[in-house]
Amino acid sequence: MLPGRHDGDLFSSLELDDLPYAGEWDGSIAFIDRDGVLNVGSENYINTIEELQVLDGAGKAVGNLRRHGFRICVTTNQSPIGRGLWDHQQLREIHDELQSRLLEEDKDARLDLILYSPHLPWAGSLFRKPNPGMLMAGRQLIESRGEITNFESSAVFEEARSAMVGDRRCDLKAGKEYGIRSFYSPQHLGLASVVERVLDSSDTGDDVSSAPQ
């Protein structure tokens, strides 16, 4: 019950663009939920490109994170695949469009990795939030640039300033379970509303209870 990866096979080589950052990468990753954080969410899911509405300032916020030395890993629950409503290719088209629109706003707003969980909520997958599996997988794929064949749940990495940003309690819980700072991003404001907090390494984040279910 592994996660899906936007750009192909989960364990294929991962091409990472250079960060627009003067220093060396210190291991910091911004793990970002998608719906309600980068784009407007919907109780009926985002089913087509036409339904995708990128939140104001999302592109600039992603660009700012990368300019301050963060890699970007989107981690999103996408159970419509498991429910049989649509397939991986349809999700790929939505993510292609999301990336394109973010880059239109800010040339540095590159999403280094997009992971998604196609699993049903009751399936008990480690790789569906609130479980931390997608964060664990994202870390190991970015560190190795895809040069691994499986994930080690006991692997320990230097997380530096890493953070999880989400609009739901399951997002913050996944971040806390993984052991990194977790920030609540209100659905109508998105990533732009908390990016300065993420960049402040002294900000320890929010309690899980601060976000809605």
Which residues participate in catalysis according to the annotation?
33, 35
- Could you give the CA distance from residue 150 to residue 46 in angstroms, rounded to a whole number? 30
* 76: region left, alpha or beta (phi > 0 left; psi from -120 to 50 alpha): beta
* CB-CB neighbours of 63 under 10 Å: 21
Q: Euclidean distance between the first and final Cα of the chain, in Å?
A: 24
Determine contact, residues 211/176, Cβ cutoff 8 Å: no
